[in-house]
Amino acid sequence: MTNSSFLAGFSFYVPDKILTNKDFEKLVDTSDEWITSRTGISNRHIVEDEACSDLASAASRQAIARSGLVPGDLTHIINATFTPDAFVPNAACVLMEKLDIKGIPAMDVNAACTGFIYGMELARGLCSLHPEAKVLLTASEVVSSRVNLMDRSTGVLFGDGAGACIVSAMPFPANVRSGQILDVILRADGSLSNLLTVKAGGSAHPLRLNDRVGEDFFVQMEGREVFKHAVRSMQGVCLEILKRNNLQPEDIDLFIPHQANIRIIEALAKKMMIQEDKLYINVQDYGNTSAASTPIALAEAWEKGLINSGDTVLLVAFGGGFTWGACLLRFS
């Protein structure tokens, strides 16, 4: 048994096609000015013919290589998503086939936008059970498959993408840049589930042969309510994880919140008293990529050289369910 887990190989992938705010001006009654000022989003990447497992596969290959591993070294696959390729098989099984590996456990986890942090805790649990564990953790979303682009109140908000890393029970070799998972806190509240839903096609709202899809096939959201809960819940869990680890906000070297809306990010950072230069923001380039949002931001910050040896990084996310959670990392 071990209580430590380590992570490396931070990688991300987004599809080539970009939808700009100007593109949306041609589709619906909106404006670049409204979208930018209310959300901070300018661009989002949207798939043309790729599925969840394709995005996960691209990010995973890089994560495996960056960790100094080959696919055959993996012991488990966890893929966070609410937009899998299909109900069955799960996208992690499709992914393992694309990586040409067989025989290890492969599962999806659905915690909406908090999926990567939920996956982190599950990977950590596997590491404490299996000292040889090398878990491929991906978060991959084709949100565009479940968003009505013709609904201006939701269509402009989301994008597609994937992030990946390897979580290991054993430290990585010194030549692989890596970090350690210090702590994770997960939370959920099902009583507020109706504020953010994708209902149709589930067993409570089944689609029958020849049914036409309606609005409930797509993301439905009470934006203002979700906004308030997002700020409050993320602040609460951040304070909790800092306190539990005897840290102050000024001990955080990089703060990576879920990238849903610049106003949510800035409100949260202000409440947390996080300085601007320690706050990572990329919502302008990708929109809200749901579970993929935090690992994309983590990998991008890593690639830009913003994470140094000894840094403490705080990730936090909030999403449908409601689910929310925070994760504290220390880099070596």
Determine contact, residues 174/12, Cβ cutoff 8 Å.
no
Give the nearer residue to ligand UT7 in terms of CB position, either 208 or 224: 224
Q: Tokens for 261?
A: 């809306």
Task: Convert residues 205-234 into a mask of x (bound to ligand UT7 by CB under 6 A) and - (unbound).
Answer: ------------------xx-xx--x----
Closest by CA position to 234, among listed 267, 281, 268: 268
Is 113 annotated as catalytic? yes
Task: Convert residues 125-144 into a mask of x (bound to ligand UT7 by CB under 6 A) and - (unbound).
Answer: --------------------
Given 90, 148, 261, 288, which residue is catalytic?
Answer: 288
* Interior/surface letters 265-281, b for 16+ CB within 10 angstroms, e for the rest: bbbbbebbebeeebbbb
Ramachandran category for residue 158: left, alpha or beta (phi over 0 → left; psi -120 to 50 → alpha)? beta
CB of 111 to ligand UT7, least distance (A): 11
User: Is residue 260 a contact point for ligand UT7 (CB under 6 A)?
Assistant: yes
Closest by CA position to 72, among listed 136, 148, 143, 141: 136
Strands 323-331 and 178-188: antiparallel
Show contacts with ligand UT7 in window 286-325 (CB under 6 A): 288, 318-319
Given 52, 93, 113, 165, which residue is catalytic?
Answer: 113
CB of 48 to ligand UT7, least distance (A): 23
Show contacts with ligand UT7 in window 150-179 (CB under 6 A): 152-153, 156
User: Is residue 147 a contact point for ligand UT7 (CB under 6 A)?
Assistant: no
- CA distance readout (Å), 295 to 211, 245, 256, 291, 298: 36, 22, 9, 8, 5
Residues labelled catalytic = 113, 258, 288
Residues of this chain that interact with ligand UT7 (CB under 6 A) are 30, 34-35, 38-39, 113, 152-153, 156, 223-224, 226-227, 230, 260-261, 264, 288, 318-319
